[in-house]
């Protein structure tokens, strides 16, 4: 075989690049599928999670689309969110994280020690972690969404309150218009699905949702947001959520024209152990396509 000069060697580079790309791609299609977990891996992970499950636990999957975990653990509290590191886990005490190959870098509080790792295990192609969240004594004592069927919902026309009296399939219906209701829904707020209360404001006046016999606690926490469709609509009209406890205003949130799942929290420890009357009032000057949603909880 002849010896190559330096210039001749350069002329081999383009073909070498094609060979490199071909070898990489061949390797990709052969190796990559071998890395993923099988059903046995999921079953084993399920056994561990169920065996050590405690009140206040939640499962998070990484990447967010890894839905096969729901075949095994879907009946438990489970979150599929794009950014687990930035997620608000205020209502939970421990987080189980189930990861697929290539998605083990959790980042944020999972890596910087804010969340304490209690368990780390590789199960075939699955990674399983359990983290203890800060303030482990924290407890959610009241979930407004869960208790929505006990609420009294009213809409106002000319200052007069009208009851939304029909409770049908998770919803208090306020009018024949099918978007004018207060109900439990799962919708995208931002990029992720959220279990929230649908409270589209009404044209005629405020919408009020009263909860009685609400226990006291350290804080009242809500999340608000508009759905992506609503935020895309060229309305640019904010929605205001005002929170009253025992008839006095605790605070208000002005939800600007953007989608997302925005947290807000008020200290209620000074109000005592309760029970309290909590009212949420939703208003909007031009409520066209204002798909406003919120959730709320009392944390102790």
Partner 1 sequence: MKFIKSHANGFIALGLFLATFLALFWYGTRVGFTRDEGYYFIASEHYAGWFRTLGKSPSKALTERGIRRHFEVNREHPVLVKNLMALSFLAFNPEGARWKQAEGFGGLGSYARVMRLPAHLISALGVALLFLLGCSLASRRVGLFAALGFILAGRHFYHAHLACFDMPVTVAWLATVMAYRKARVSTAWGVATGAVWGLAIAVKHNAFFLPILFVLHWLITQGNQFSLSRRGIKIPRIPLAFFSMLILGPAIFIGHWPFLWNSTFERIGWYFNFHLQHVHYPWEYFGTLLTEAPFPWLYPFAVTALTLPLPTLVLGATGFFGVLGERLGHPLRAAWRWLGRLGGWRAGSQPEAERKPWLDKSDGWLIWLNAFIPIFVVAIPSVPIFGGMKHWLNAMPFVCLLAALALDRLVALVPDLGARVFRPVYLYAGVAVLALLPSLLGLIHIGPYGTSFYNSLAGGVPGAADLGMQRQYWSNNVTGVLPWINQNVPPGKRLYLHEVNGECFRTYQRDGYLRSDIKMSWMPEHSDYTAYQYHREFTNIEYRLWQENNSKKTEHGLYIDEVPIVLVYSKRL
Phi, psi of 225 (to 5 degrees): 175, 160
CB of 251 to partner 1, least distance (A): 29
Of residues 17 and 165, the one with the C-beta less far from partner 1: 17
CB of 292 to partner 1, least distance (A): 16
Of residues 100 and 222, the one with the C-beta less far from partner 1: 100
Of residues 192 and 257, the one with the C-beta less far from partner 1: 192
Of residues 259 and 279, the one with the C-beta less far from partner 1: 259
Report the interface residues with partner 1, using CB under 8 A: 1-2, 4, 7-8, 10-15, 17-19, 21-26, 28-30, 32-33, 36-37, 63, 65-68, 70-71, 74-75, 78, 100, 102, 170, 184-188, 191, 193, 195, 228, 232
CB of 299 to partner 1, least distance (A): 23
Residues 6+ apart with CB under 8 A from 269: 216, 217, 218, 219
Of residues 59 and 282, the one with the C-beta less far from partner 1: 59
Q: How far apart are CA 236 and CA 262, in angstroms?
A: 18
CB of 10 to partner 1, least distance (A): 4
Q: Looking only at Cα atoms, what is the longest distance across the chain?
A: 98
CB of 136 to partner 1, least distance (A): 26
| 202: DSSP letter | -
Instruction: Tell how strand 248-255 and strand 219-226 pair up.
Output: unpaired
Q: Are 211 and 295 in contact (CB under 8 A)?
A: no
DSSP string, 115-172: SEEEEEEEETTEEEEEEEPSSTT--EEEETTTTGGG-EEEEEETTEEEE--EEETTEE
């Amino acid at each position: 075989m002849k010896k190559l000069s330096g210039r001749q060697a350069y002329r081999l580079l383009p073909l070498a690049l094609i060979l490199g790309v071909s070898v990489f791609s061949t390797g990709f299609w052969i190796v990559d599928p071998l890395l993923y977990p099988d059903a046995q891996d999921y079953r084993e992970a399920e056994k561990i999670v169920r065996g050590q499950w405690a009140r206040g636990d939640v499962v998070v999957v990484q990447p967010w689309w890894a839905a096969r975990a729901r075949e095994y653990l879907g009946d438990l509290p489970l979150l599929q969110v794009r950014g687990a590191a930035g997620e608000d886990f205020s209502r939970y005490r421990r987080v189980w994280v189930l990861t697929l190959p290539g998605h083990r870098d959790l980042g944020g509080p999972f890596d910087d020690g804010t969340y304490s790792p209690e368990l780390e295990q590789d199960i075939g192609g699955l990674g399983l972690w359990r983290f203890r969240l800060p303030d482990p004594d924290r407890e959610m004592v009241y979930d407004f969404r869960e208790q929505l069927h006990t609420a009294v919902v009213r809409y106002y026309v000319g200052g007069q309150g009208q009851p939304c009296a029909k409770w049908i399939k998770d919803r208090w219906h306020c009018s024949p218009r099918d978007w004018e209701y207060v109900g439990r829904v799962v919708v995208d707020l931002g990029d992720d699905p959220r279990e929230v209360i649908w409270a589209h404001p009404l044209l005629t006046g405020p919408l009020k949702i009263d909860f009685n016999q609400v226990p006291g606690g350290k804080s009242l926490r809500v999340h608000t947001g508009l759905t992506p469709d609503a935020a895309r609509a060229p309305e640019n009209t904010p929605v205001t959520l005002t929170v009253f406890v025992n008839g006095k205003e605790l605070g208000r949130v002005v939800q600007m024209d953007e989608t997302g799942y925005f947290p807000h929290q008020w200290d209620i420890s000074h109000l005592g152990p309760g029970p309290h009357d909590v009212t949420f009032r939703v208003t909007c000057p031009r409520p066209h396509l204002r798909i406003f949603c919120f959730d709320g909880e009392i944390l102790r």
